Copies of this chain bind each other. A is one copy, B any other.
Amino acid sequence: MKSGSTFLLAARQCEIADLEELARTGELVGAIGRFVHALQRERGLSNGFLASQGSRFGLQREQQLAECMVAEARVRTFFEVLDTDSAHARNGARLFSRVAVVLHALEGLPALREQVGTRAIAAREATAAFSRLIAGLLAVVFEAADSASDPEVSRALVALFHFMQGKELAGQERAHGANLFASGTLAPAGQQQWLHLIEAQQGCFRVFADFSDPEVVRADEASRDRAVGAEVERLRRIGCAGRPGAVDSSLSTEWYQWATCRIDAMRSVEERLALHLRRLCETRIAQARRELRDRRALLEALAREAPCPGADGTAPLGPQLERSVLALVQEQSRRLQAMGDELDAARASLGERKLVERAKGLLMAHRSMTEDEAYKALRQMAMNQNRRIVDVAEAVLSLAEVLPAGR
């Protein structure tokens, strides 16, 4: 018959299994970071290639494809080892569903590249297709962060997810700024959208700073090239805050280069975050294994000291030993309780994104919009009302509760 001790040890073993799965997820997230970075470059080069009618970035784009394919193969390797057979993967339903979206988007990638190469697609459309694929990859990271069962690892994943999301917004800003400068005219709508991309990035980096290891944040700050930051801010000032009207279109290339320097520097922070995550998993697994071993040894010692086995084969413990077991049981409960509380706190930071997703879903269902249209509608409302997207999303959701569905 299973005793309290069996369950006490089994609970620990579950924690270890969870951590091991998290470590594998951490590797996958690292591979996704590399792939997203390669795709961001390919997106930028494809955009420049198409916008210049094929006169620029042709060779760089071809070279970038090789890097993308290596990174893609690595992500696919990790998808391959995800345990789709056992139906016991933690958060399997949601994670697998996100992976299905990514794999579907990857199937369309060769055709997309073909269209870019033959200039059979508009720059805007190609950029949107790359952005959708990247969003799908980031959604995999989001699920990983949302399903982590260890608070420290969860915090590291939340920090990494928000950093990756901020970096992706920086990539979108790079493309947006390059296009706006290249157009030769600063249109107010374009300027407003640019400001919006800056604000959204800042929101992501705030969460990153709140949830990451202080050392990583300090290293990030120390490694920043002030010259790059100053140039980016100068061009932002001209592009976003400058008077609407004609602008020197050669600033497009200048902006693109400085923005690229900034994004490349982010990539090395991202690598440091991924490394921190891997080390954290290793430390936590080693710690949990050690505790399991100590716990088992202690329980065995207690069982040996037990006065005499009862008629049913179990050994009733003396009052002293019983108190020891009770202390172990209570300590474990308290620890899990505290871990659960910390986890809830880490996950709460993911709530904003969930609100936006929910509002998007509502608009898609009730106004027959596509996902892109729904997001743009929310962003437009936010810009018009000078509010954050998450506040607009909340307003949309609370209105939906009082208004009937559909128009």
Question: B-contacting residues of A (Cβ < 8 Å)?
Answer: 1-8, 10-18, 76, 79-80, 82, 84-90, 92-104, 107-108, 149, 314, 316-317, 322, 325-326, 329-330, 332-334, 336-338, 340-341, 344, 354, 357-358, 361, 364-365, 371
7 additional A-B residue pairs with CB within 8 Å, beyond A2-B82, A7-B79, A7-B99: A2-B79, A8-B97, A10-B84, A11-B94, A11-B96, A16-B87, A97-B332
Which residue of B6, B80, B90 contacts A90 across the interface (Cβ within 8 Å)? B90
Give 23 A-B contacts (CB < 8 Å), ordered by A residue: A1-B76, A4-B104, A7-B99, A8-B97, A8-B100, A10-B87, A11-B92, A12-B93, A13-B92, A14-B87, A88-B88, A90-B90, A94-B340, A97-B329, A97-B336, A101-B330, A104-B329, A107-B314, A107-B317, A107-B322, A108-B322, A340-B354, A344-B354
B354 contacts A97, C-beta separation under 8 Å = no
A101 contacts B333, C-beta separation under 8 Å = yes
Give A351's nearest chain B residue, CB to CB.
B344
A319 to chain B, nearest CB (A): 9
A10 to B357, CA, bound (A): 23
B14 contacts A96, C-beta separation under 8 Å = yes
Residues of B within 8 A of A107 (CB): 4, 314, 316-317, 322
Residues of B within 8 A of A322 (CB): 104, 107-108
Residues of B within 8 A of A337 (CB): 357-358, 361
A337 to B350, CA, bound (A): 13
Assuming the contacts A11-B94, A94-B11, asked whether A88 and B4 have C-beta atoms less than 8 A apart, the reply is no
Assuming the contacts A2-B84, A90-B90, A317-B107, asked whether A100 and B7 have C-beta atoms less than 8 A apart, the reply is yes
Give A335's nearest chain B residue, CB to CB.
B97
A151 to chain B, nearest CB (A): 12
A357 to B329, CA, bound (A): 16
A193 to B4, CA, bound (A): 34
Give A110's nearest chain B residue, CB to CB.
B316
A326 contacts B104, C-beta separation under 8 Å = yes
A14 contacts B93, C-beta separation under 8 Å = yes
A364 to B327, CA, bound (A): 13
A89 contacts B14, C-beta separation under 8 Å = yes
A337 to B360, CA, bound (A): 11
A146 to chain B, nearest CB (A): 9
Give A338's nearest chain B residue, CB to CB.
B361
Residues of B within 8 A of A97 (CB): 7-8, 11, 329, 332-333, 336
Give A99's nearest chain B residue, CB to CB.
B7
4 interchain residue pairs of minimum CB distance: A14-B92, A10-B84, A4-B103, A11-B96
A329 contacts B100, C-beta separation under 8 Å = yes
Give A397's nearest chain B residue, CB to CB.
B341
Residues of B within 8 A of A94 (CB): 11, 336, 340
A34 to chain B, nearest CB (A): 20
A183 to B325, CA, bound (A): 38
Residues of B within 8 A of A338 (CB): 361
- Greatest chain B CB density within 10 A among A11, A93, A337 is at A93
Residues of B within 8 A of A103 (CB): 2-4, 7
